[in-house]
Structure 1
Amino acid sequence: MSRPIAEMRNLGPATARMLAEVDIGSEEALRRLGAVEAYHRLKFRFGRHVTLVALYAMEAALRDCDWRSLEPSVRDDLRKAARRP
């Protein structure tokens, strides 16, 4: 069963509202799109108000871990993927 975004680790009500505005309303939807695509949608809609921490938080939420515990290599890969169009 898919959880609401606000119930996922690292993602609170504010992130859930922002994700809902870009049609990502559940864990299943986030998992289907992936953190990088979700980040691209958020950046397009909210611009500079969305930082790389949001990308890390979404990826960590999908892995069910704290975003600060993501390995540096994972963060690097996410940054590189987020730069691609």
Structure 2
Amino acid sequence: MTESVSSIRNLGPAYEASLARVGIRSAEALRDLGADAAYARLLENGDRPHFIGYYVLVMALQGRPWNDCKGAEKDALRVKFDTLKAKHFNKNISALEADLDAIGVGLRR
């Protein structure tokens, strides 16, 4: 049986739905892909960048409480987040355009 994304500690139904929209539909798929690649997919498909959302995902995949991220570790994750955001987030694409692109009928850039 396939394990749901929301079976991972700290990832609830909203995160699961967001990941499903970008083709990540199981905990196994998420673990195989990893936090950075999964978050990049979210950004590429129009999700707004949110640092807490990123580090919650990182902590969840490590099996740690979301608020366990502190100090130098949190600072390093912020650098990774900023890099992902700069590379993968197109502030000019709306969520609707991203959804249309995903099914092949939207404006291609």
TM-score (normalizing by structure 1):
0.81
Q: Which structure carries more relative contact order (alpha carbon 8 Å, separation 6+)?
A: 1
Structure 2, unmatched stretches of 5+, are 88-109
Equivalent pairs: percent with the same residue? 37
CA contact (8 A) 1:36 1:78 kept: no
Q: Find the counterpart in structure 2 of residue 59 from structure 1.
A: 58
What SS does the aligned partner of 2:45 have?
helix
Q: Where do 4+ consecutive residues of structure 1 move more than 2 Å?
A: 71-82
Report the CA distance shift for 1:6/1:74 in structure 2 as closer, same or farther (over 3 A). Answer: same
Number of equivalenced pairs: 84
Q: CA deviation at 1:53?
A: 1.3
Q: CA deviation at 1:2?
A: 5.7
Q: CA deviation at 1:51?
A: 0.8
1-structure distance, mates of 2:31, 2:20: 14
Q: CA deviation at 1:78?
A: 2.5
2:60 alignment partner AA: A
What SS does the aligned partner of 1:25 have?
coil
Larger of the two Rg values belongs to structure? 2
Please identify which structure carries the higher helix content: 1
**Equivalences for residues 26-45 of structure 1 within 5 A:** 26-45=26-45
After superposition, give the CA deviation of every residue in 1:28-61 in whole Å (9 maximum; x if it has no partner): 111111111111111122332x411111111111
Q: Find the counterpart in structure 1 of residue 6 from structure 2.
A: 6
Q: Find the counterpart in structure 2 of residue 71 from structure 1.
A: 70
Aligned-CA RMSD value: 1.9
